[in-house]
A and B are shown apart, each in its own frame.
Chain A
Amino acid sequence: MSVADVREAITQAHHEEWARVVASLTRRFGDLDIAEDAAAEAFAAAVERWPADGVPPNPGAWLTTTANRKAIDRIRRENKRDDKQKEAQMVYDDDPPEPIGAIDDERLRLIFTCCHPALAMESRVALTLRMVGGLTVPEIARAFLVQETAMGRRITRAKAKIKAARIPFRVPAAEDLPARVCGVLAVVYLAFNEGYLATGPDTDPVRHDLTAEAIRLTRLIRALMPEDGEVAGLLALMLLTEARRTTRVSASGELVALDEQDRGAWDASLIAEGHRLVRERLAAGVAPGRYQILAAISAVHTSARDMRDTDWSQIVALYDQLVRLDPSPIIALNRAIAVAELDGPDVALAAVDRLGDKLAGYHAYHATRADLLRRLGRSQKSRAAYDKAIELAGNTAETAYLTRRRDQLG
């Protein structure tokens, strides 16, 4: 086996086994710190030993055994298992949870613990990427443009709170499950969006590492909760968004709007998978949640070979459905963009202008107004709106796009 093959095997084991190792150690030792450190040591041991000894026949079992041994060594060394420590152990509920049509996998417990609503949102994201995704602290710090020490503190603090406040290592009760799943999905969607429209002057406009990681996590959640419609919806939404990723930023680093994207370069297999999931949810005949509706909207877009072939009435109908679930002004803004295609920019502009109070600080509000005003030939007002949008936009590719559109105004 070549060095490259071993490296590939280690990467694959890391993707497939990290969360399982951390989760099983958390269950056994009742301590996230011990689980995380022992898992990291086991993978370090693999990097050291596998090139010489060869890749073991069952890498997952090798890693779990090694990590268990490392954890026990550490506990012996630090004499961690005195009474006080036992008291501080995480609550592990041995009763199987209510049947939820899901596998009771330890990884699912780990996900719900990391995404617990008692933790700050930014801590949930960081902790999930670390404990479930297996990203290192420096990687997570880079992804969110935070100093490594600050990110390390954020994760340490979250783990300390889980321990001190006894956030349980458990799948929530059936009655709490929908709200808690929604919370988990918000965490992975935030990670995805940060990758998809990265903010900050010194970062790539799209960070594929983050979008890929978010998709990987969502696939895992889907495997663990195959019956949940919103999980399927979010996965479909991410796949259909990711499918367009490479066409979304031009060679010169400028954002490419939907009407100018090279549709032939969209990733056909991701689109096919996304469409399959959307069809599966439609066939389920259950009232869809917001991610399923967003995925359906994306499915309509990705079904059109050309922007002009888009079924805009279908899209507006889906947005109407979404507005009923989520009356947020951002949804109303996106609906107005679709309305512009169906009923014309003047109708859309009137709808957008009604959102001014709530969205005055949001760059997309000004960018949308600018575009509608441009299409209505009101160049001066359009220019002012572009100026405002450029001032507020945080993404380098978007700024470049808006600047070009502004400078093209007659």
Chain B
Amino acid sequence: MQYLVSVIEQFLPGGVREDKTGSATSDEMAAINAFNDRLKAEDHWVFAGGLASPDTATIIDNRGEEAMFTDGPFLESKEHLGGFWIIQAPDLDVALKLAAEGSKACNRRVEVRPFL
């Protein structure tokens, strides 16, 4: 069973990011790397990655005759996806425990969702 663990990046009112850069600090990176190593050692690892800010997003719509490219995120919101893990776990209890450690490592809220 695979789960998506999304990292929730939050903007404060006024559009300022929670921290200065929006990306992880070196302490956070060290904790994330240690957590990733553990995921790999214990066979929970599938994939993980951090994402650049939503300003860098491009929307593509090729449902019509011609592909349309639009600048910007598809949703303006106070929260966005900052990165994610895809983990392998036998059940939700195991996934929740891992996600709790992930939240501590990256110092952000995370959301767990099962794959179909």
| Residues in A lying within 8 Å of B, measured CB to CB | 91, 116, 118, 164-168, 170, 172, 176
Contacts and interface: CB of A to CB of B under 8 A. Distances in A.
Contacts of B96: 118
A116 B113 CA distance: 16
Contacts of B92: 116, 118, 165-168
Contact of A172 (B93, B95, B112): B93
Interface of B: 1, 90-93, 95-96, 112-114, 116
27 contacts: A91-B90, A91-B91, A116-B92, A118-B92, A118-B96, A164-B114, A164-B116, A165-B92, A165-B112, A165-B113, A165-B114, A166-B1, A166-B91, A166-B92, A166-B95, A166-B114, A167-B91, A167-B92, A167-B93, A168-B90, A168-B91, A168-B92, A168-B93, A170-B91, A170-B93, A172-B93, A176-B93
Interface of B is mostly: mixed
Given A166-B90, A168-B93, A172-B93, 12 more contacts: A91-B90, A118-B96, A164-B114, A164-B116, A165-B112, A165-B113, A166-B1, A166-B92, A167-B91, A168-B91, A168-B92, A170-B91
A266 B113 CA distance: 50
A100 to B, nearest CB: 16
B68 to A, nearest CB: 33
A164 B114 CA distance: 7
A164 to B, nearest CB: 5
A371 B110 CA distance: 47
A164 B91 CA distance: 10
Nearest to B1: A166
Nearest to B3: A165
Nearest to A87: B1
A226 to B, nearest CB: 25
Contacts of A91: 90-91
A220 B92 CA distance: 26
Nearest to B116: A164
B43 to A, nearest CB: 17
A176 B97 CA distance: 10
B75 to A, nearest CB: 24
| Ranked 10 nearest A-B pairs via Cβ | A168-B91, A91-B91, A165-B114, A166-B91, A165-B92, A167-B92, A166-B92, A166-B1, A164-B114, A168-B93
Contacts of A164: 114, 116
A91 B95 CA distance: 13
